[in-house]
Amino acid sequence: MEDDLKNLRNRMKKTRFNELKFTEQHRMTVLKQIQQEEAEADILHLVMQLLVQEKTGYELTEQLRVRGVKKFEGNEGFLYTLLHQLEQKRYLDAAWNKEEMKLYQLNRKGRKLLEKAEKEKDRKNVILGLLAEVKGR
């Protein structure tokens, strides 16, 4: 394995990779992007945990706020977009109740993914994969 890595490094020196230069600004931009995606993954994981039980978007927003997630304050549309995307990818079900409020809850597929994420040693990879799927990457 070590020899493979050395060979790879030597081959990269002979290609265009050799010419790439990363400035401190590039490094910081990449780091910020990684941190943002990890924060979004943490929020998505929390949303999925909260949706094990049926909730309205308002109830979900309030429970996120109580847990210190302020991302949706003043921008609740972002949460509803996320819920709609999860519904479109068939990770949760949504239905209207008698009071004409939409209720959201993880379905079987969503629960399986949540269980997988919580069993995995590195659950962030599972959630980051879902985040990429939901964002259409």
Q: Round the average pLDDT of the chain to a whole number and report it.
A: 82
Domain membership of residue 1 (yes or no) is: no
Radius of gyration of the chain (CA): 20
Check whether 120 has a pLDDT greater than 70. Answer: no
- 97 occurs within a structural domain: yes
Nearest to 67 by CA among 55, 80, 49: 49
CATH of the domain at 53: 1.10.10.10
Q: What is the pLDDT of residue 1?
A: 55
Query: How does pLDDT run across 71-87, given as a tens digit for each residue?
Result: 777 778 888 998 999 99
Please check whether residue 116 lies inside any domain of the structure. Answer: yes
Structural domain tally of the chain? 1
What count of other Cβ atoms lies within 10 Å of the Cβ of residue 45? 20
If you average pLDDT over residues 54-66, what whole number do you get? 92
pLDDT surpassing 60 at residue 33: yes
pLDDT at 107: 96
How much is the average pLDDT of 11-37? 71
For residue 34, give its domain range: 23-135
The mean pLDDT of 5-20, rounded to a whole number, is 68
Question: 104, exposed or middle or buried, with CB in 10 Å at 0-12, 13-18, 19+?
Answer: buried
Q: Residue 134 above 60 pLDDT?
A: yes
Q: Model's pTM, two decimal places?
A: 0.69
